[in-house]
Amino acid sequence: MQKPAPYGVTRRKVLATTALAMLFGAMGKAGANIITGGQPWAPFDYSPPETLGPGGWYFFTPSEARTVEAIVERLIPADELSMSGKDAGCATFIDRQLAGSFGSSAKLYMQAPFQKGTPQQGDQSDLVPQQRYRLGLAALDSYCNQTHAKPFAELTGEQRDTVLAGLEKGEITLPGFDGKMLFEAVLANTMEGFFADPIYGGNRDMVSWKMLGFPGARYDYRDYVERHNEKLDLPPLSIAGRPAWNAKD
């Protein structure tokens, strides 16, 4: 028969007491340091964002680039609030993304079987984004050449809107390609490019952040945490800092 623990101390109590002692000991050693001055690291020292340099097209052919620019210009037309999607660099953003791991689905599981999924499952296609754009843009221009005797980029604004609306509703059938899938892909990527950090090629001059009043990727907001229902009036700041053309804002 096991002897009772002396003075009523059980193994469970010993373990619990030891755990508490270790916890409070660690708490006593821990402390918060307030960093003053510049931040003691450079952004993305260990995990840099996947970006490409300015100028030129990295994935699109010149013809494809014209088509995409013509699309994003109609998806986000210029108005009193902002420049157009084309001028904001949305096509550049899409081009850079397609040239990287997003375009090849390098970080996704892309093995068979490929079956049509439910709406909740999302897209189940075996086509990577690079293939969707290459095949989809070619099919779009083929359709426009057949119906308007011109590629999409040479259509009038009204004609482009009609074609895009037909793709969105699934009323236009592109030769050998799902037109609605093309529209949904370009629309999603255009919105991403318009609102993403400018280091990725879109949101030129931080146009969407200025429109929304979003102050961007700032390091410290502690001075503003308790200031509710108040406009901050802070110039937007990119992950890469504020470029020279924006320094006086």
The answer for residues whose C-beta is within 8 angstroms of residue 51's C-beta and 6 or more apart is: 96, 199, 200, 201
Structural domains in the chain (count): 1
In a domain, 244, yes or no: no
State how far the alpha carbon of 65 is from the alpha carbons of 128, 134, 242, in Å. 18, 11, 28
How much is the pLDDT for 245?
Answer: 41
Query: If you average pLDDT over residues 229-236, what whole number do you get?
Result: 84
Counted residue by residue, the chain has a size of 249
Nearest to 63 by CA among 134, 166, 143: 134
**Banded model confidence at residue 221, pLDDT cuts 50, 70, 90:** confident
Asked if residues 171 and 98 have their Cβ atoms less than 8 Å apart, the reply is no
Report if residue 14 sits inside a domain. Answer: no
Residue-level pLDDT at 22: 55
pLDDT, residue 246, reads 39
Residue 87 within any structural domain of the chain? yes
- Average pLDDT, whole number, for the chain? 82
Would residue 189 count as lying in a domain? yes
Position 7 confidence tier, pLDDT thresholds 50, 70, 90 = very low
32 domain residue, yes or no: no
Predicted TM-score (pTM) above 0.95: no
Cα–chain center distance at 53: 18
248 confidence band (pLDDT: 50, 70, 90): very low
The residue range of the domain holding 71 is 62-107+123-212
At 140-161, the pLDDT tens digits run 999 999 999 999 999 999 999 9
Query: Do the domain assignments include residue 164?
Result: yes
Read off the pLDDT of residues 165-214 as tens digits, 9 standing for 90 and up: 999 999 999 999 999 999 999 999 999 999 999 999 999 999 999 999 88
Residue bearing tokens 């508490």: 20
The verdict on residue 181 lying in a domain is yes
Say whether pLDDT at 164 is over 90: yes
